[in-house]
Amino acid sequence: MIYIAPSLLAADFANLKTEIRTVADAGANYLHLDVMDGAFVPNISFGAPVISALRPHSKLIFDVHLMINDPGRYINDFVKAGADLITIHLESCSDPAKVLKEIRDREVRCGLAISPATPVEEILPYLSQIDMALIMTVVPGFGGQKFMPDMMEKVRTVKRYALTHNLKLDIQVDGGISAENTATVTEAGANIIVAGSAIFKAKKPRAVIEAMRKEAEKHPYKA
């Protein structure tokens, strides 16, 4: 099953409630929430209070992508805000295993992300402890950047590892994805696809989500 996760970063911030309803009605599965602290990444977005305010207005899976230093400090806040899935960056803390365990102990799904500069080998030891691996396909910090096809080799490595070790693992890709390159990411093994600009900036978000889903179905994982 392929899941589509519109990234709220590309939404109209003056109309968030309407924006999330639009993508839910258009067939989205997840709502990808990019939290940026101006330190781990150069940009500042929004935090737990905004997520908590949106929670009562949506049944979508709240997929919180933390691009913040030392995320362990805030796990409680994001759990309380209503996150269903919390992803931290491998590069953002000294003991990722400890933070991942904290997330799991709160009965929230946990994800681990790697930025383009981080070798895939660094995430492999954690795969048995997480629900989702996030392979960034842009340098984190901003929406609307260009997709990096070179990252597909990492997706393939993670997918192969999960298959050979019998792990139930979701693989998410994030950055520069649209219907045009959905086939590339699903053939490599990704099953949760984040798209910000492609969906929120479209005149017809439903058509984009349907096109992405169709591409994904036509192009399943190819070993």
The residues pairing with 33 across neighbouring beta strands, listed in sequence order, are 64
Query: 8 or 108: whose CB is closer to ligand DX5?
Result: 8
Q: Which does 196 bind (CB under 5 to 8 A by kind): Zn ion, ligand DX5, none?
A: ligand DX5
Task: Give the separation between CA 193 and CA 184, rounded to whole angstroms.
Answer: 11
- HEC sequence for 8-43: HHHCCHHHHHHHHHHHHHCCCCEEEEEEEECCCCCC
Q: Which of 46, 145, 161, 167 binds ligand DX5 (CB under 6 A)?
A: 145
Closest residue by beta carbon to Zn ion: 65
By the rule CB under 5 A, 65 interacts with Zn ion? yes
Query: 96 or 175: whose CB is closer to ligand DX5?
Result: 175
Shortest CB 200 distance to Zn ion, Å: 13
Task: Give the separation between CA 66 and CA 13, rounded to whole angstroms.
Answer: 19
Shortest CB 139 distance to ligand DX5, Å: 8
By the rule CB under 5 A, 34 interacts with Zn ion? yes
For residue 63, the one-letter residue type is: D
Task: Give the separation between CA 197 and CA 189, rounded to whole angstroms.
Answer: 22
34 is a catalytic site residue? yes
